[in-house]
Homo-oligomer: A and B are copies of this chain.
């Protein structure tokens, strides 16, 4: 389980580090991450409007960047759905 958590941290950092702030995801970084890393969990990742909406729903402080904690909430929701847990 620690290995799996470590993978999620490492992947987040890889994508977050591509431009601007190395510890947050810009919209472009977020779309790249979702498209490459979550192709089965997020189906409409190639639709810019869908990404915009998804990102808006997660970006609690509306600064256009996703922190690790904001991103964690997304994968928690995806995992709950995937695992068949009620939200």
Which residues of A are in contact with B by a Cβ distance under 8 Å?
Answer: 1-9, 11-13, 23, 33, 37-41, 67-69, 72-73, 75-76, 78-80, 82-83, 85, 87
Contact = CB atoms under 8 A, between A and B. Distances in A.
B2 A7 contact: no
A49 to B, nearest CB: 23
Contacts of A41: 2, 5
Copies in the complex: 2
Given A5-B8, A5-B75, A68 B85 contact: yes
Given A8-B5, A11-B1, A40-B2, A80 B76 contact: no
B38 A79 contact: no
| Residue of A1, A39, A73, A85 most packed against chain B (CB within 10 A) | A1
